Amino acid sequence: MNDMLEGMLETALYADDLDKAEAFYEGILGLSKISRGGNRHVFFRCGAGVLLIFNPQETIKPPSPTSLQVPPHGTTGAGHACFRVCGENLDAIAARLTSGGVAIESEVTWPQGGRSIYFRDPAGNSLECADARIWGIE
C-alpha cells in the first residue's frame, strides 16, 4: 500500500477565530488563500498541498442534506504542523515571523542534519519550519 500513497494532500488545523487565522497565514506566512467558507473554514495553498484551517465549533455539526457530505470532525487543544523550508531560507522566515510580532519558541539543529524553528499561530497551534533533511529527505 505504501507505494500507492503519494504524499500528504491536506493538513488540517483548528482555530476558533478564523479572522486572526486568516490574517496570520495569509499576511505573516504569505500563503495564498484558496477560499473562505464563512465562519467554518479558510483554506490556503501551501506548496504542492493545502492547509485547511477549520473552526472546531462549526465542523462538529453534522452536514445538512443539501451540503457536501463531509463527516463531522474536529479536535480540542493545540495541533502541530511543519512547513518544509529550504535550509537557506530558515533565517529569512524567522526574520519575517519576528518582524510580524511572532516569537520563535525554539530553534533545533538536528544530529542527522537540518534545522527547525518552532512558533505558534494565534490559536496556539505549534508550527514548525524545517529543512527536509531532518527526516533524511533531500
Domains in the chain, CATH or no CATH each:
10-65+76-135 (3.10.180.10)
Is the per-residue pLDDT at 39 higher than 80? yes
Q: Mean pLDDT over all residues of the chain? A: 93
Q: Which amino acid is at 30?
A: G
Is the per-residue pLDDT at 136 higher than 60? yes
Is the per-residue pLDDT at 1 higher than 60? no
Write down the pLDDT at residue 94. 97
Is the per-residue pLDDT at 16 higher than 90? yes
- Which one is predicted more confidently, 138 or 115? 115
Write down the pLDDT at residue 70. 82
Write down the pLDDT at residue 62. 84
> Which burial class, exposed, middle or buried, applies to 131 when counting CB atoms under 10 A from its CB (0-12, 13-18, 19+)?
buried
Write down the pLDDT at residue 91. 96
Write down the pLDDT at residue 69. 78
Q: Which cell is 100 given? A: 510580524
Three-state secondary structure string covering the chain: CCCCCCCCCEEEEECCCHHHHHHHHHHHCCCEEEEEECCCEEEEEECCEEEEEECHHHHCCCCCCCCCCCCCCCCCCCCEEEEECCHHHHHHHHHHHHHCCCCCCEEEECCCCCEEEEEECCCCCEEEEECHHHHCCC
Write down the pLDDT at residue 64. 77
* Confidence (pTM): 0.91
Write down the pLDDT at residue 75. 87
> What pLDDT digit, counting tens, does each position of 49-106 carry?
999 999 999 999 887 777 777 888 888 889 999 999 999 999 999 999 999 999 999 9
